[in-house]
Amino acid sequence: MRIISISDEVYFELSKIKNGKSFTELLKSLLQQCLNKGDPQKILEFLDTHGTLSDESAERIMSEVKEGRKRTMPRKFT
């Protein structure tokens, strides 16, 4: 057995989706589902099994995307 640390935010998000499973079972399940990461179809299947994002989560993602776009350098076409 190992002890890991996670932020309170991650803990609460995992708590919402564990549905009576232990955290070990939940993490094992999530890892199994992510084995084919990068495959768009698998990503969509993974998201579908976990329901709709909360408005707060969606806003946080959009905020991060916008910040990331601000930090990128535009391409120069010649």
**Sequence-separated (6 or more) residues with CB below 8 Å from residue 46:** 33, 34
pLDDT at 3: 83
pLDDT at 71: 79
Write down the residue that tokens 């990461």 correspond to: 37
pLDDT at 5: 87
Per-residue pLDDT of the chain (78 residues; tens, 9 = 90+): 788 888 888 888 889 888 899 988 888 888 877 665 666 776 677 667 766 777 888 888 888 888 888 877 777 776
Q: How far is CA 33 from CA 49, 50, 76, in A?
A: 10, 11, 39
pLDDT at 37: 61
Alpha carbons within 13 A on the beta-carbon side of 76? 1
pTM for this prediction: 0.42
